[in-house]
Chain A
Amino acid sequence: MTGTKPPTGRPLSPHLGIYRLTFTFLMSGFHRVTGAVLYFGMLIPIAWLLAVATGPEWFDFVNSWLGTFLGRLVLFGYSWGLIHHMLGGFRHLIWDTGRGLDLVSIEIFARATIVGSVSLTVAVWLAVYALGGF
């Protein structure tokens, strides 16, 4: 392991700070951030499964917590993150084939990702409330 100390006082190459905020830039960031949030969000389904495995008391306890306003808010965010990350992933899979890398396509993809994820999430939650129960 070669530990190199960063030389101090030397100019660094410019990073995020100097660029104009574009839609594609924002969606790239969203993809990474939703991925990171989903990482910790995975605790929710695992905790729920564990509650079912443990018994009715824990099942009711976890469900009642998820049913609170905060619980619903977290679940709403989790579902949006999941859907957004999936749609963002579609773009990456298309790009992996070498297609859709031109400026017009990436702009369309970026807009479709956010419009798609928001409308799909709303659709899912309309279904949630249509199914009552929650």
Chain B
Amino acid sequence: MKFRTPLGKVRGLGAAHTGTDVFWIQRLTSIASIPLTFFLVGSSLYLIGADYEVARAYISSVFVAPALVLVVIIFLWHMCIGMEEIIVDYVHSPTVKFASLIFNIMFTVFLGLTGVYAILKISFGT
């Protein structure tokens, strides 16, 4: 058994039925990001010079708040996969690699939760 190659072990077991999910999600989030990017740029233009109450009212609007939550979630999901891709491409030392992979997930999840929390707090009042 000790001398069996990895290929020999999996031969005959059939397809893994997994493995393309990351590729698929990266495409899915990229397509979703197209209208969201236009929305983000448009919102930024609208909010130029806006005072505090105007910004608050805009963000808490029923059309804007859910779209902003989507921006945060979709962008960060896409970012998380993208950065993971970069890390596994360039970081070869196992210690640094796994530390970076862990940091990547924690950073994106933390940022995402913070963003969603901020939008909800603005929407539902203090």
Contact = CB atoms under 8 A, between A and B. Distances in A.
Interface of A: 1, 3, 6, 32, 35-36, 38-39, 42-43, 45-46, 49-50, 52-53, 56, 59-60, 79, 82-83, 86, 89-90, 92-93, 96, 124, 127-128, 131-134
Given A36-B86, A42-B79, A59 B55 contact: yes
A46 B115 contact: yes
B1 interface: no
Contacts of B48: 128, 131-134
Contacts of A133: 48-50
A69 to B, nearest CB: 17
Interface of B: 27, 30-31, 33-34, 37, 40-41, 45, 48-50, 52, 55-56, 59, 68, 71-72, 75-76, 79, 82-83, 86, 92, 94, 111, 114-115, 117-119, 121-122
Given A32-B86, A52-B55, A53-B117, 11 more contacts: A39-B79, A39-B82, A45-B40, A45-B115, A52-B59, A53-B122, A93-B27, A124-B41, A131-B49, A133-B48, A133-B49
Contacts of B94: 1, 3
A93 B50 CA distance: 36
Contacts of B27: 93, 96
Given A42-B76, A93-B27, A82 B37 contact: yes
A74 B37 CA distance: 17
B85 to A, nearest CB: 9
A124 B45 contact: yes
Question: Do most interface residues of chain A lie in helix, strand or loop, or is the interface mixed?
Answer: helix
Contacts of B52: 52, 56, 59-60
Contacts of A1: 94
Contacts of A82: 37, 40-41
Tell me which of A39, A50, A124, A131 has the highest count of chain B C-beta atoms within 10 A of its own C-beta. A39
Contacts of B92: 6
Contact of A86 (B34, B55, B68, B71): B34
